Structure 1
Amino acid sequence: MANWFVNEGLSIFVILVWLGINAFLFEHFYIVYLDKKFYYTRELTGDALSWARASAACLNFNCLLILLPVCRNLLSFLRGSCQCFSRNVTRQLDRNLTFHKLVAYMIALHTAIHTIAHLFNLERFMDGQLDNHDTIQYTLSQIGNIEGQAYLNPIRSNDTNPTVIAFTTIAGLTGVVITLALILIITSSMEVIRRSYFEVFWYIHHLFVIFFIGLVFHGAGRIVRGQTNLNASDPDLCAKNFKTWGQNTSCPVPEFAGNPPMTWKWVVGPMFLYVCERLVRFWRSMQKVVITKVVTHPSKTIELQMKKKGWKMEVGQYVFLQCPSISQFEWHPFTLTSAPEEDYFSVHIRIVGDWTQKLFTAYGGDKTDFQEAWKMPKMAVDGPFGTASEDVFRYDAVMLVGAGIGVTPFASILKSVWYRYSNNVTEPKLKRIYFYWVCRETNAFEWFADLLRSLEAQMAEKGNADFLSYNIYLTKWDDNEAAHFALTHDEKKDPITGLEKKTLYGRPNWENEFKTIGSNHTNTKVGVFLCGPEALAKTLSKQCNSSSDANPLGVQFIFNKENF
């Protein structure tokens, strides 16, 4: 339990607080609409009124939160400001997209409750107009027919239906629009669509602008109404005498007024922050970017080296790239593979989709002749933004685990380590790096092997060969490759990477790896950093929990995952 709490305790606490606030708001506003002020409204709608308003309160709260996790500049600023706090506080910022999704699911849940409750309300409002003349529902529905008298029932005629009301009132029309927008946003965010049709996800996700505009105006019609003359016409005394309302001074006709719209008060702050976020990102994206070098690597990978005035970065950060000649609107995230010490910044992009294929062609990746830099298409860069990898140098020892192209953030880290050792700039905190790279194809190793060879030689020259321990795993090979590996197994250097340490075949035995590292670093917090698939993340997360010492002063494995 203690081991699990180290990695997940604060995150679970945050989620419980969030759920608790949702539960409190729902219960509080459910009870508020059981108040005497809404006695006559409930006579028309029943308990559906409380359900609709309680869910609306939760919607307001979650719509306040939904934009904050995607304000990337704000998160980067907070990450930089939180260095004086514990690593656990900073790590919560790395789970911004997970929290964003949870809030979206909560919005979907309360939207469903709110919509269903109001459908019942519309039906009952309609029934009130069509009811027998001797019922209180019919009597309440006729209030407002006299000039200057405020209505209670928003359906003012029996010659209509709920569908017409839904599309001819502010509340109904905006409700339909924001519900449809929400359905499209959530369905297009499914993993299969996001990975296979990223452009569809990207464009549809921007319907959130329509969603928030509709949300702000949704309550402007003031359909939910409460009684304003409770002192003059007490429902407890006058409800049973509804037939004689206005005929004596003790029970005058009830007067009603609509509740003022409240949603804008909840969302105006986050909307302002998000607009500022977009303005900052727009300003940065308009700054000139110079492509200094394009390198085509094996395994369908292209490297872009760029320069930008005033550029500053930290290890492991990422940027968004836009190529206007390919698309004026699409921005795609890529991890920086350069180090802060270099006078340029770079990204390695694997060609796996339509946009990356067009980028590959646009920058001459399919050509063998020299390309003039000034002839290349313009590139817009937004960032850099902070990630979990920034915390690498805050640990005494770290495990870096990359899968395939997921090795890119660690290229930045290892390059930075190389430069620090080259310039005799030692890192007082970090004493040991354990690097694991799991890949399916041999070609994928080639572009990264040069860096590892340089770092390996540098550490040996400095007499600190134990500083970096790396293990490269190949998970897929054919018969010809297997025969070649067998023949060259006894050679001094690995036949695939050219490194002193040989490539391993298969997958790592994580239990053994964690045991070995734990025995080497007793009484130490070991940072575990992953850039890879969710299945591997679950495996490493569980292993961190099970391998950490029950004694808080013993070895503790702290799990961190890249998310963008």
Structure 2
Amino acid sequence: MGDWMLNEGPKWAFLFIWFGTNIGVFTGFFLKFYNGAQYYYLNQILGLALPFARGSAACLNLNCMLILFPVCRNLLSFIRGSCNCCRIICRRNVRRQMDKNITFHKALAYMIIFHTAVHIIAHCFNLEFFMQAWDSPNNQTRGLLSTLSTQEDPWLNPIRDPNTNTTVELLKFVPGITGVIITLSLIVIYTSSTEVIRRSYFEVFWFTHHLFAVFFIGLVIHGVQGVVRSQTNIDLHDPVLCATQYLQWGPTNPECPVPQFAGGPAQTWQWVIVPMVFYMIERGIRFYRSQQKIVITKVVKHPSKVLELQMKRKGFKMEAGQYIFLHCPSISRLEWHPFTLTSSPEEDYFSVHIRTVGDWTNALAKMCHADEKEFQEAWKLPAVAADGPFGTASEDVFQYQVDICVAAGIGVTPFASVLKHVWYQYNNPNFETKLRKVHFFWICPDTNAFEWFSDLLHQLETQMAEQGKRDFLDANIYLTRGWDQNQAKNIMLQEEDVYDAVTGLHQKTNYGRPNWDAIFKGIADANPNTSIGVFFCGPKVLSTTLHKMSNKYTNIEEGGAKFFYNKENF
């Protein structure tokens, strides 16, 4: 049994800290408003609804402060790879958690929805309790506190007229109006962020998600009116003593003068100002990049509906395995789509391979004249913009002694960049690396998908053979379907040939699906006391399998192999 904590420990530690912080913040504010002497009279009217409302409000501030950071892609890329100090401070296992930024963004959204629900329900009770306080006899504390509302300064109950209804009173106050706006914005943002909407109606998702600006503006001004008031003269008027022993308040009673109340200042802006500044900087960088001119230098149409674009942009710098967001204003002024870079940093251009399976990608292929055989001049090609590049897990390929790179279908794109870069650096005498072996696995659905990537593998295989380093890259291609009876017979007849009948590589193609148990066990046995990086790009089902295998065959005892699982997320 492997050591589960190596891969799962940092994630659960992070979640434990996050949940613990939420619980701590909620508890702290709950007790402050439940036990605080300055809120004694307010609690006499509202009971537990007040501390529940304030505790959930504090947690809303906390999570709204955090939710913008996971979508600051430039900041994450800087921390993850560009900042040498950050790489020293943040250990590899800590940096790997940044690959789950969108997952954490979604988790924060769920937490915000939960605390919003608690906050709304608590304030619904608060509003009703304020109304009911007017029905209490004036010789009771709640009644006395409500009559204070007829005076100008010391009012505690914000409802001044007992002959009204809760809806009217709700819309009299800034918290009520902004609360409605915030809640409606949150509902629209959440419902339009579901996967079916995001994939089928991207522009709906894009438009509605920008309601976050309305949400944050409403959040900042939600508490400016200071409706929740605290007692300011508890040194002169002991609320516990006066509420239990004295039923008459006034300037003639030295023991219990009239209690004074005041609303507190709005505090939400103090929580969210820093992330909002970071996000504005992020958007500024994105806008600047979107205005930079990009030249498409080459368009190649590959089998299996794969389109390759080679581009150049002044000052463009990348690392292996990074990704960009591509924008074509002629197709849509709103849509930006993520694509992994397939070129290596050593090349004088950057490229992406795009599988044309949707409206946007098909429109791009048409505008690039991908089906036309003649050469297209640059002015005939569409104008495009790129945002990025942004860091991914693949940047850490040199942090391990052995790498296992697994791709499924078009998920092979990041490894086109990674394998080329690894080979360039491996042959650079001035580059020091502890990486000594790369195992590459490509699970492919049909034979047509091999062509564009097999050329790269063939080139690497030839260069390794010429330099006597054939063992550095162990390429394993698995064909899961897509061959007919005649092709099967042809493959069997050429089984004894030096090169594979399908790919033309020295390494023979495997048919069917990999036996991951045997593969991981074999690599673990062959590499004792070794840190092994597992990098994957592909569907969730296979990701789950590889994640389990990494945990199963990890052995943290002395002499054991350690598998670190990394998944591409963008």
1:523: which partner in 2?
529
Whole-angstrom CA distance in 2 between matches of 1:298 and 1:164: 65
Are residues 1:266 and 2:271 paired?
A: yes
Q: Name the residue aligned to 1:72.
A: 73
Matched with 1:50 is 51
- 2:119 alignment partner, one of 102, 107, 114: 114
CA apart distance, 1:383? 0.8
Note the C-alpha offset of 1:475.
Answer: 2.1
TM-score by length of 1: 0.95
Using the alignment, how far apart are the partners of 2:135 and 2:360 within structure 1?
Answer: 58
Residue number in structure 2 paired with 1:330 = 335
Partner SS state of residue 390, structure 1 = helix
5+ residue gaps, structure 1:
none
SS in 2 for 1:220: coil
- TM-superposed deviation, 1:461: 1.2
Distance 2:316 2:359 in 1: 29
One-letter code of the match for 1:25?
V
Deviation, 1:240, is 3.8
Q: Read off the aligned partner of 1:385 and give its amino acid letter.
A: F
Distance in 2 separating the partners of 1:300 and 1:339: 23
| Correspondence 1:174 to 2:174 | no
Conservation of the 8 A alpha-carbon contact between 1:418 and 1:458: no
Cα distance in 2 for partners of 1:131, 1:476 equals: 78
Q: 1:234 to 1:372 in 2, by over 3 A?
A: same
Per the alignment, do residues 430 and 422 of structure 1 end up closer, same or farther by CA in structure 2, a change over 3 Å counting? closer
Shifted more, 535-544 versus 244-253: the winner is 244-253
Q: Residue 493 of structure 2: SS of its match in structure 1?
A: coil
1:234 to 231, 238, 247: 238
Q: How far apart in 2 are the matches of 1:100 and 1:503? A: 40
Superposition map of 1:315-464 within 5 A: 315-420=320-425, 428-464=433-469
Cα deviation 1:334-356 (Å, max 9, x = unaligned): 11000000000001111222222
Q: Tell me if the contact between 2:2 and 2:552 (Cα under 8 Å) persists in the aligned partners.
A: no
Conserved? CA contact 1:302–1:365, under 8 Å: yes
Aligned position for 1:32: 32
Alpha-carbon contact 2:319-2:345 (below 8 Å) kept:
yes
Match of 1:309 in 2: 314
> In the alignment, which residue of structure 2 is the partner of 1:14?
14
Task: Please list the CA deviations of residues 125-158 of structure 1 after superposition, one character each: whole Å capped at 9, or x if unmatched.
Answer: 1222344555432332232323x32321122222
| Greater mean deviation of Cα atoms: 446-455 or 2-11 | 2-11
Higher mean C-alpha displacement, 186-195 vs 316-325: 186-195
**Secondary structure at 1:221's aligned position in 2?**
coil
Structure 2 counterpart of 1:308, one-letter code = R
Q: Decide whether the 8 Å contact of 1:317 with 1:335 is kept in 2.
A: yes
Amino acid at match of 1:527: G
- For 1:484, which of 475, 483, 487 is the aligned residue? 487
Measured in 2, the distance between the counterparts of 1:371 and 1:441 equals 30
In 1, the alpha carbon distance for the partners of 2:525 and 2:513 equals 22
Contact persistence 1:136–1:242 (CA under 8 A): no
Deviations 1:274-297 (A, max 9, x none): 111111121122111111111111
CA offsets, 1:152-206, max 9 Å, x none?
1122222332222333421111111112222222232233333333333232222
Q: Of 543, 547, 551, which aligns to 2:549?
A: 543
SS in 2 for 1:334: strand
**Alpha-carbon spacing, 1:343–1:249, altered in 2? closer, same or farther (3 Å):** same
Count of matched residue positions in the alignment of Structure 1 and Structure 2: 561
Q: Please state whether the residue corresponding to 1:95 is helix, strand or coil.
A: helix
Q: 1:298 aligns with which of 297, 303, 317?
A: 303
Name the amino acid aligned to 2:486. A
Deviations, residues 285-333 of structure 1 (Å, cap 9, x unaligned): 2111111111111111111111011111110001111111122222111
Shifted more, 510-519 versus 96-105: the winner is 96-105
1:511 to 496, 517, 532: 517
Letter aligned with residue 489 of structure 2: A
Cα offset for 1:439?
A: 2.1
Question: Quick one: distance in 1 between partners of 2:138 and 2:266?
Answer: 33
One-letter amino acid of the counterpart of residue 174, structure 1: T
After TM superposition, give the deviation of residue 421 of structure 1 in Å. Answer: 6.0
Q: 2:169 aligns with which of 165, 189, 192?
A: 165
1:278 alignment partner AA: R
Task: In structure 1, give the amino acid aligned to 2:31.
Answer: I
Aligned partner of residue 514 in structure 2, secondary structure: coil
Aligned partners of 2:130 and 2:446: how far apart in 1? 66
Equivalent residue letter for 1:336: L
Which AA in structure 1 matches 2:17? V
**Contact 1:128/1:138, CA 8 A, preserved across alignment:** yes
Secondary structure of the equivalent of 1:342?
coil
Q: Output the TM-score relative to the length of structure 2.
A: 0.94
CA distance in 1, matches of 2:196, 2:420: 34
Alignment match of 1:141 (pick from 121, 142, 146): 146
**Higher deviation after alignment, 206-215 or 419-428:** 419-428
Moved more, 325-334 or 366-375: 366-375
Q: 1:231 to 1:343 in 2, by over 3 A?
A: same
Distance 1:362 1:159 in 2: 67
Higher mean C-alpha displacement, 235-244 vs 417-426: 417-426
Of residues 93-102 and 486-495 in structure 1, the stretch that sits farther from structure 2 once superposed is 486-495
Distance of 1:392 and 1:319 partners within structure 2: 19
8 A contact 1:485–1:495 mirrored in 2: no
Supply the AA of the counterpart residue of 2:28. Answer: H
